[in-house]
Structure 1
Amino acid sequence: MSDEYVEQRSISGPLLGVVAAALLAALGGLLWCHLLQNKMDVAEQRIVAADQKNVDLTEKLEATNARLRATSETLGQTVGMTQKQIEIRTQSIIAQQKASTAKLEQEAAANSQKIGAVSTDVASVKTDVGGVKTDVATTKSDLEATKTQLNRVVGDAGVMSGLIATNHDELEILKHKGDRNYLEFTLQKGAKPTLLSTVKLQLKKADEKHSRYTLNVSSDDRTIEKKDKGLDEPVQFYNGKDPVLYELVVNVISKNTVSGYLSTPKSGGRAAAAQ
């Protein structure tokens, strides 16, 4: 019995040791599993927290991106509008410059034309002045020639007349000489007597074919008939308290009408005619 007991005790001792080791190993495994589970729980919590942070960051990033896009669009619109305004303003300035340049060119062309016109006018004036000088010289020559054509003849009263004008131009020369008064007249047959200076003239007859005429001269309360007188013939008579020689000359004879002039001394009568 004691040998068997000793043998049993010798067998159970190692077995207990194995069991104890196994138990310790199991406890250790359980403890390690528990610790591992805790670590896994903590890691999972951290992963969840990290995922949430990622979600939050993603949302913030998307919000930021949205704000950036909105800001970019607004800025782009503003820049686009500003660029458009700049382009419009630039085009307006260019158009104004073109208009101003065109206006200046037109004004320059107009001024050039005016200068050319003035130059032409000046040249024309110079030409006209030269022409006037030539005309004056010609007129002087004509006057000199006309003066030589004026002549003196014996009138119907047997007195040497003054210079006789046969037309209007020659009469103007006599007027400018200023030696006598010259009054022009036109007489109609059958009309009332025409008053010239202090005498009256009345046409009685006009023969255009033969260049002859007859008229009455009323002077100093008496009437004298000057009958059958000729063209450019000095018709003479005396007039006034201190008798002075008057002359009349007819230069034009037409049907029932004669035209000419009355010559009176400077000291005699009025220088105007009346009907």
Structure 2
Amino acid sequence: MSSYNENNETVIRNEERHSSGGTVTKVAVAVALVAALGGWWYQSNQVSSVRQEMAQSQQKFEQLQSQMQTSATVAKAQVDETLAKMNDEVAKARQEALANSQRAAKQQAGRVMTTLTAKNEELTKQLEDYKQATEQKSTQVDEALNGIKGDVGTVRTDVDSTKTDLSQTKEDLKRMTGDMGVMSGLIATNSTELGELRKLGEKDYFEFTLPRNGQPQKVGEIRLALKKTDVKRNKFTMNVLADDKTVEKKDKNVNEPVQFYTSGARTPYEVVVNEIRKDQVIGYLAVPKVKTMAKR
């Protein structure tokens, strides 16, 4: 009987052990299942979150792409509009430039035409004036020729009369011997006779009015200094300065040829005083045309 009870107790303990081991296993399986379900749920949530984020990103990308396309379309429209405006402005500018150029060319052509017209009128007037002047000159020449023809006889008469007067004047001119004993030829006693001597052209004549101050005065190529006058006796005294030499001509008479030589002269110079006053004398200097001594 005790043996049976022992066996019974052993069986019961084994069964209890087996029952305890099965419970542990079930618990372990349940824990693993719960862990697996938790992992699956976590992963599912993660995937869903990722999918949601991807959907949002896709949506944002599509929105951004749409905005970019819209912006590109707007920008292209603005560029096209700007280009169209620029083309219009360029075309307008070309038309205005062409119009201005044509207008300027027309204005310039008008000015040139006006200038040419005025110049043509001026030349036409000058031609008419020249023609009238030529006709007038021709008439004057004809009248002058007729007058000359009529005056030829008168001129001849005047020439003959002049020759007669000149011959008479030559006769009136005096021939005297100078203070150096040289025949002076013709001398003049007044301005009229001096004019006749100039016409003969034999000598050069220099008139002078010489004051009595003792200071040399240039007359022609020489200098004269009046030192003394004697109105009552018609005499004078003067110094002649030529070739760095001074020669005194003392107590000379009115209309007397006062002669002196200069360097290289073959005929003497002559000083003739026609009028003697208290403080001055009036006369002329006669200089020969040929001054150089003849070579031997």
TM-score interval for Structure 1 and Structure 2 normalised by the shorter chain: 0.3 to 0.5
Q: Looking at both structures, which has the greater relative contact order when contacts are Cα pairs under 8 Å and sequence separation is at least 6?
A: 1
Structure that is richer in strand per residue: 1
